[in-house]
Amino acid sequence: MMSFREPSTVGMCIRAACVGIFSLLFLGAFSRTTLEAAPSLVHGLWVWKSPTVLEAARGAEGLRDFCQSEGINEVYVSVSERRAAAEENQFAHLITLLHCSNIRVEALLSSVDADEPGKHRETLLRHVQEIVKFNQMHRRDRFDGIHLDVEPQERPENKGSGNLRFLPGLTDAFRDVRGVAEPAGMTVNADIQNKLLKGDRGERRMLLSAVPRVTLMMYELSSPADGESAEQKADKVEKASKKFFDLAYDGLDDPNLARMAIALRTPDYGELLPQKLKILDETNRSNPHYLGWARHSYNDYLAAEH
């Protein structure tokens, strides 16, 4: 089982410095609730294999620097259920650094089976409870939310463009996680694939009422070697994002539906990725359902650097 340790004296000093800086800049304490209520768009980043990333020399600092240079204000850090105390200290250090730069941190939890009730769902919920416990022991360097990467569509029986047989179980899993996370002061965001937006009105309502935030994986529109110009790629991003927003919310005027972020990935655009992310904001900023964008992933950036 996980063990929890109190923050180090160095960590306390870092946090105290952050508090002092915020006080001077904002003439008072700037609460986490205030940060979340700010109208700025989400600019997210996935970080997979986080222990490997964070154990590198200045791993946390390097991630922080990348976020600052690329305009990232949310980070989704993969967290395994069972981990060593050293990893927990790494998470606490990372969260402290990112919070000092006004960057939210969500615990990234993955599963291909959690749509099924029983042991798989219980495993996911136990994982969420472990994040709650971590937060209780690290009240000043706590996770801000849960980011779900639940992918039942990867199982053979769920393949196919019109096959949404898993959707009721998936939304039940989302609601169950929300029932644990929100009372503990954490938001919930769920990654979704575009075929979920092609369901009927009832199916889309079921999905978009299960969590307050979803992130659409809008992948494989382009590739670096497809021969298209940067302008052609930008046009495809603009048209596809509009199409998926129309699909998602068509016929739905329910209050409190999830807002949706759009995710693009490095393998589709290479060095052009930042430009395409900017297009998403320019195209959809006025849409009340638009949450922002997310970038997949920091690991691709590190691989390119090496």
213-271 pLDDT tens trace: 999 999 999 999 999 999 999 999 999 999 999 999 999 999 999 999 999 999 999 99
pTM of the model: 0.88
Within a domain: 3? no
Within a domain: 205? yes
Within a domain: 273? yes
Within a domain: 40? yes
**Which 8-state DSSP code applies to residue 296?**
E
pLDDT single digits (tens) 163-194:
999 999 999 999 999 999 999 999 999 999 99
Q: Which residue has the higher pLDDT, 64 or 1?
A: 64
**Long-range contact set of residues 127-133: C-beta below 8 Å, sequence gap at least 24:** 127/79, 127/81, 128/177, 128/180, 128/181, 129/180, 130/2, 130/81, 131/79, 131/107, 131/181, 131/186, 132/180, 132/181, 132/184, 132/186, 133/2, 133/4
pLDDT single digits (tens) 128-169:
999 999 999 999 999 999 999 999 999 999 999 889 999 999
Residues near 95 by beta carbon (within 8 Å), at least 6 away in sequence: 105, 138, 141, 142, 143
CATH number at residue 177: 3.20.20.80
Within a domain: 1? no
Within a domain: 2? no
**Number of domains comprising the chain:** 1
Within a domain: 207? yes
Q: Which domain holds residue 285?
A: 9-305
Within a domain: 136? yes
pLDDT single digits (tens) 262-289:
999 999 999 999 999 999 999 999 999 9
